[in-house]
Amino acid sequence: MDPTKKRVARRSRQLRARKRITGTAAKPRLSVYRSNDHIYAQLIDDVAGHTLAAASSLEPTVTKGTDGKVGVARQVGTAIGERAAQAGITTCVFDRGGNRYAGRVAALADAARETGLEF
């Protein structure tokens, strides 16, 4: 598939989901962005336009172990869950960012759930 078509298709999947998904201060949106090498997660209040908490695989505390990229995604999910708890956030809306709910995206979501974040 042409890279431009892939980008356009992913963007249309994102917009289709974001018509229904909106984050508030009480129930923010957990947005996940997955690149080839890294994964990023943010808790976003769409009403105010603020990021309440964020975590990524670029942080020095996140290390690539024997699990590879899926293990890194689990560490990022745990970090975002802990930061959400520190900010007083217990529930959120999950935004997979146009990606399939499998592999690294699912690992991040499961780890965030294990730390107490509900969605």
Q: For residue 17, give the CATH number of its domain.
A: 3.30.420.100
Asked if residue 94 belongs to a domain, the reply is yes
> Residue 96: which domain range?
3-114
Residue with tokens 């172990």: 65
Task: Please give the tally of structural domains in the chain.
Answer: 1
Residues 6+ apart with CB under 8 A from 69: 39, 104
Asked if residue 91 belongs to a domain, the reply is yes
Side-chain half-sphere of 11: how many Cα atoms within 13 Å?
Answer: 6
Nearest Cα neighbor of 83 from 56, 49, 46, 119 is 56
Asked if residue 20 belongs to a domain, the reply is yes
- Please state, rounded to an integer, the average pLDDT across all residues of the chain: 93
pLDDT at 8: 93
Band (pLDDT 50/70/90 cuts) for residue 46 is very high
Asked if residue 25 belongs to a domain, the reply is yes
pLDDT at 11: 92
Asked if residue 41 belongs to a domain, the reply is yes
Asked if residue 119 belongs to a domain, the reply is no
What is the average pLDDT across 55-83?
Answer: 94
Band (pLDDT 50/70/90 cuts) for residue 62 is very high
Percent share of the chain, pLDDT over 70: 100
pLDDT at 72: 97
Band (pLDDT 50/70/90 cuts) for residue 66 is confident
